[in-house]
Structure 1
Amino acid sequence: MAATIYPPTSPEVAHKRRDLAPDVQAAFEAFGRQVFADGALDTKTKQLIAVAIAHVTQCPYCIEGHTKAAQRAGATAQELMEAVWVAAEMRAGGAYAHAAIMIASLSEEPLR
Protein backbone atom coordinates (compact mmCIF):
# COMPACT_ATOMS: atom_id res chain seq x y z
CA MET A 1 0.00 0.00 0.00
CA ALA A 2 1.36 3.42 -0.89
CA ALA A 3 2.28 5.80 1.90
CA THR A 4 -0.96 7.00 3.46
CA ILE A 5 -2.41 8.20 6.71
CA TYR A 6 -3.15 4.56 7.54
CA PRO A 7 -0.53 2.67 9.53
CA PRO A 8 1.03 -0.19 7.60
CA THR A 9 0.00 -3.71 8.46
CA SER A 10 2.69 -5.67 10.26
CA PRO A 11 3.23 -8.88 12.16
CA GLU A 12 3.50 -6.78 15.34
CA VAL A 13 0.01 -5.35 14.82
CA ALA A 14 -1.38 -8.82 14.11
CA HIS A 15 0.24 -10.20 17.28
CA LYS A 16 -1.05 -7.29 19.38
CA ARG A 17 -4.59 -7.79 18.03
CA ARG A 18 -4.37 -11.51 18.89
CA ASP A 19 -2.87 -10.83 22.35
CA LEU A 20 -5.64 -8.37 23.25
CA ALA A 21 -8.50 -10.73 22.33
CA PRO A 22 -7.23 -14.19 21.37
CA ASP A 23 -10.56 -16.02 21.40
CA VAL A 24 -12.29 -13.37 19.34
CA GLN A 25 -9.37 -13.26 16.88
CA ALA A 26 -9.48 -17.04 16.46
CA ALA A 27 -13.25 -16.97 15.91
CA PHE A 28 -12.93 -14.14 13.39
CA GLU A 29 -10.26 -16.04 11.44
CA ALA A 30 -12.38 -19.22 11.42
CA PHE A 31 -15.39 -17.19 10.27
CA GLY A 32 -13.35 -15.67 7.44
CA ARG A 33 -12.08 -19.06 6.28
CA GLN A 34 -15.63 -20.41 6.20
CA VAL A 35 -17.10 -17.37 4.46
CA PHE A 36 -14.52 -17.42 1.66
CA ALA A 37 -14.51 -21.20 1.15
CA ASP A 38 -16.14 -22.59 -1.98
CA GLY A 39 -19.86 -23.09 -1.46
CA ALA A 40 -22.85 -22.03 -3.53
CA LEU A 41 -20.49 -19.29 -4.74
CA ASP A 42 -16.92 -20.08 -5.67
CA THR A 43 -14.00 -18.37 -3.93
CA LYS A 44 -13.24 -16.13 -6.91
CA THR A 45 -16.78 -14.76 -6.95
CA LYS A 46 -16.71 -14.21 -3.20
CA GLN A 47 -13.43 -12.31 -3.49
CA LEU A 48 -14.84 -10.14 -6.30
CA ILE A 49 -17.79 -9.32 -4.04
CA ALA A 50 -15.35 -8.51 -1.23
CA VAL A 51 -13.38 -6.13 -3.49
CA ALA A 52 -16.61 -4.36 -4.46
CA ILE A 53 -17.72 -4.04 -0.83
CA ALA A 54 -14.26 -2.88 0.23
CA HIS A 55 -14.63 0.03 -2.17
CA VAL A 56 -18.03 0.94 -0.73
CA THR A 57 -16.74 0.74 2.85
CA GLN A 58 -13.54 2.47 1.69
CA CYS A 59 -11.21 0.18 3.63
CA PRO A 60 -7.74 0.41 2.08
CA TYR A 61 -6.57 -2.74 3.86
CA CYS A 62 -9.55 -4.71 2.50
CA ILE A 63 -9.10 -3.31 -1.00
CA GLU A 64 -5.47 -4.41 -1.07
CA GLY A 65 -5.94 -7.77 0.62
CA HIS A 66 -9.03 -8.87 -1.27
CA THR A 67 -7.65 -7.67 -4.61
CA LYS A 68 -4.66 -9.94 -4.07
CA ALA A 69 -6.89 -12.80 -2.88
CA ALA A 70 -9.17 -12.36 -5.90
CA GLN A 71 -6.16 -12.52 -8.23
CA ARG A 72 -4.92 -15.68 -6.49
CA ALA A 73 -8.41 -17.14 -7.02
CA GLY A 74 -8.15 -16.38 -10.76
CA ALA A 75 -9.82 -12.99 -11.10
CA THR A 76 -8.58 -10.81 -13.93
CA ALA A 77 -7.95 -7.07 -13.80
CA GLN A 78 -11.01 -6.60 -16.00
CA GLU A 79 -13.22 -8.61 -13.61
CA LEU A 80 -11.91 -6.62 -10.66
CA MET A 81 -12.62 -3.31 -12.39
CA GLU A 82 -16.15 -4.43 -13.28
CA ALA A 83 -16.71 -5.34 -9.63
CA VAL A 84 -15.61 -1.84 -8.62
CA TRP A 85 -17.98 -0.31 -11.19
CA VAL A 86 -20.85 -2.39 -9.78
CA ALA A 87 -19.99 -1.05 -6.32
CA ALA A 88 -19.89 2.52 -7.63
CA GLU A 89 -23.30 2.14 -9.27
CA MET A 90 -24.81 0.63 -6.15
CA ARG A 91 -23.44 3.40 -3.95
CA ALA A 92 -24.75 6.05 -6.34
CA GLY A 93 -28.03 4.15 -6.57
CA GLY A 94 -28.38 4.34 -2.80
CA ALA A 95 -28.10 8.12 -2.88
CA TYR A 96 -30.58 8.26 -5.76
CA ALA A 97 -33.07 6.02 -3.93
CA HIS A 98 -32.74 7.99 -0.70
CA ALA A 99 -33.82 11.09 -2.59
CA ALA A 100 -37.32 9.76 -1.89
CA ILE A 101 -36.78 10.74 1.76
CA MET A 102 -35.82 14.26 0.74
CA ILE A 103 -38.78 14.52 -1.64
CA ALA A 104 -41.21 13.34 1.05
CA SER A 105 -39.71 15.91 3.43
CA LEU A 106 -40.33 18.75 0.98
CA SER A 107 -44.02 18.76 1.83
CA GLU A 108 -43.36 18.92 5.57
CA GLU A 109 -43.19 22.13 7.53
CA PRO A 110 -39.54 23.33 7.67
CA LEU A 111 -37.88 23.26 11.10
CA ARG A 112 -37.15 26.69 12.52
Structure 2
Amino acid sequence: MKSKQLYPEASLALSAKRSSLAPEIAEAFRNFSQAVFKEGALPEKTKQLIAVAVAHVTQCPYCIRSHTAQAIRKGATQHEIIEAVWIAAEMQAGGAVSHSKLAIDEMESLEEA
Protein backbone atom coordinates (compact mmCIF):
# COMPACT_ATOMS: atom_id res chain seq x y z
CA MET A 1 0.00 0.00 0.00
CA LYS A 2 1.25 3.43 -0.94
CA SER A 3 2.16 5.75 1.95
CA LYS A 4 0.01 8.89 2.12
CA GLN A 5 1.80 12.19 2.46
CA LEU A 6 0.21 15.39 3.67
CA TYR A 7 1.65 17.14 0.62
CA PRO A 8 2.43 14.62 -2.13
CA GLU A 9 5.21 15.67 -4.45
CA ALA A 10 3.93 17.62 -7.42
CA SER A 11 4.47 15.77 -10.67
CA LEU A 12 3.52 15.85 -14.32
CA ALA A 13 1.57 12.62 -13.76
CA LEU A 14 -0.58 14.23 -11.04
CA SER A 15 -1.11 17.30 -13.22
CA ALA A 16 -2.12 15.12 -16.17
CA LYS A 17 -4.55 13.16 -13.96
CA ARG A 18 -6.18 16.36 -12.68
CA SER A 19 -6.46 17.69 -16.24
CA SER A 20 -7.93 14.42 -17.53
CA LEU A 21 -10.68 14.52 -14.89
CA ALA A 22 -11.86 17.99 -15.97
CA PRO A 23 -10.10 18.93 -19.21
CA GLU A 24 -12.17 22.00 -20.12
CA ILE A 25 -11.81 23.50 -16.66
CA ALA A 26 -8.10 22.67 -16.55
CA GLU A 27 -7.55 24.39 -19.91
CA ALA A 28 -9.56 27.43 -18.84
CA PHE A 29 -7.54 27.68 -15.63
CA ARG A 30 -4.23 27.40 -17.54
CA ASN A 31 -5.34 30.14 -19.92
CA PHE A 32 -6.47 32.34 -17.02
CA SER A 33 -3.19 31.80 -15.19
CA GLN A 34 -1.14 32.65 -18.28
CA ALA A 35 -3.17 35.83 -18.81
CA VAL A 36 -2.81 36.90 -15.17
CA PHE A 37 0.96 36.46 -15.04
CA LYS A 38 1.64 37.94 -18.49
CA GLU A 39 3.51 41.26 -18.64
CA GLY A 40 0.99 44.06 -18.35
CA ALA A 41 0.60 47.16 -16.22
CA LEU A 42 2.73 45.25 -13.71
CA PRO A 43 5.98 43.59 -14.73
CA GLU A 44 6.09 39.78 -14.53
CA LYS A 45 8.61 39.91 -11.67
CA THR A 46 6.26 42.07 -9.60
CA LYS A 47 3.35 39.73 -10.30
CA GLN A 48 5.42 36.77 -9.12
CA LEU A 49 6.47 38.61 -5.95
CA ILE A 50 2.80 39.33 -5.23
CA ALA A 51 2.06 35.64 -5.80
CA VAL A 52 4.83 34.66 -3.36
CA ALA A 53 3.27 36.89 -0.72
CA VAL A 54 -0.26 35.61 -1.33
CA ALA A 55 0.95 32.01 -1.34
CA HIS A 56 2.33 32.53 2.15
CA VAL A 57 -0.99 33.94 3.35
CA THR A 58 -2.95 31.08 1.79
CA GLN A 59 -0.23 28.71 3.04
CA CYS A 60 -0.09 26.69 -0.17
CA PRO A 61 3.27 24.87 -0.19
CA TYR A 62 3.02 24.13 -3.91
CA CYS A 63 2.33 27.78 -4.70
CA ILE A 64 5.16 28.95 -2.43
CA ARG A 65 7.67 26.75 -4.24
CA SER A 66 6.32 27.44 -7.73
CA HIS A 67 6.03 31.22 -7.43
CA THR A 68 9.34 31.57 -5.60
CA ALA A 69 11.03 29.74 -8.49
CA GLN A 70 9.12 31.85 -11.04
CA ALA A 71 10.04 35.06 -9.22
CA ILE A 72 13.72 34.12 -9.36
CA ARG A 73 13.39 33.25 -13.07
CA LYS A 74 11.85 36.69 -13.64
CA GLY A 75 14.79 38.39 -11.91
CA ALA A 76 13.72 38.70 -8.28
CA THR A 77 16.45 38.59 -5.68
CA GLN A 78 16.34 36.57 -2.49
CA HIS A 79 16.02 39.86 -0.58
CA GLU A 80 12.96 40.87 -2.64
CA ILE A 81 11.34 37.48 -2.05
CA ILE A 82 11.85 37.63 1.72
CA GLU A 83 10.53 41.21 1.81
CA ALA A 84 7.41 39.96 0.00
CA VAL A 85 7.05 37.25 2.65
CA TRP A 86 7.37 39.85 5.42
CA ILE A 87 4.72 42.00 3.74
CA ALA A 88 2.42 38.95 3.71
CA ALA A 89 3.10 38.35 7.41
CA GLU A 90 2.36 41.98 8.29
CA MET A 91 -0.84 42.01 6.26
CA GLN A 92 -2.08 38.82 7.86
CA ALA A 93 -1.23 40.07 11.34
CA GLY A 94 -2.69 43.48 10.53
CA GLY A 95 -5.95 41.82 9.53
CA ALA A 96 -6.17 40.11 12.91
CA VAL A 97 -5.50 43.39 14.73
CA SER A 98 -7.99 45.41 12.70
CA HIS A 99 -10.67 42.73 13.07
CA SER A 100 -10.34 43.03 16.85
CA LYS A 101 -12.84 45.88 16.43
CA LEU A 102 -15.47 43.16 15.94
CA ALA A 103 -14.60 41.60 19.31
CA ILE A 104 -14.57 45.01 21.01
CA ASP A 105 -17.91 45.90 19.40
CA GLU A 106 -19.41 42.60 20.60
CA MET A 107 -18.06 43.07 24.14
CA GLU A 108 -19.45 46.61 24.26
CA SER A 109 -22.87 45.47 23.01
CA LEU A 110 -22.96 42.77 25.73
CA GLU A 111 -22.10 45.35 28.41
CA GLU A 112 -25.06 47.45 27.28
CA ALA A 113 -27.48 44.52 27.44
TM-score grouping bracket, smaller chain normalisation: over 0.9
Structure 1 residue 20: deviation in Å? Answer: 0.4
Listed as ranges, the gaps of 5+ residues in structure 1 are none
Aligned to 2:74: 73
> Using the alignment, how far apart are the partners of 1:90 and 1:74 within structure 2?
24
Give the total of aligned pairs: 107
Instruction: Among all aligned residue pairs of Structure 1 and Structure 2, give the percentage whose two residues are the same amino acid.
Output: 53
Structure 1 residue ranges, 4+ long, deviating more than 6 angstroms after superposition: none
Write the letter of the residue equivalent to 2:91.
M
**CA displacement 1:66-86 (0-9 Å, x = unmatched):** 000000000000000000000
**CA displacement 1:36-68 (0-9 Å, x = unmatched):** 000000000000000000000000000000000
**CA displacement 1:70-103 (0-9 Å, x = unmatched):** 0000000000000000000000000000000000
Aligned to 1:32: 33
CA RMSD in angstroms comes to 1.1
> Using the alignment, how far apart are the partners of 1:46 and 1:11 within structure 2?
24
Write the letter of the residue equivalent to 1:51.
V
> Using the alignment, how far apart are the partners of 2:46 and 2:15 within structure 1?
27
Aligned to 2:55: 54
SS of the residue corresponding to residue 6 of structure 2 reads: coil
Structure 1 residue 108: deviation in Å? Answer: 2.5
> Using the alignment, how far apart are the partners of 1:9 and 1:21 within structure 2?
18
SS of the residue corresponding to residue 48 of structure 1 reads: helix
Which stretch shows the higher mean deviation, 101-110 or 56-65? 101-110
SS of the residue corresponding to residue 109 of structure 1 reads: helix
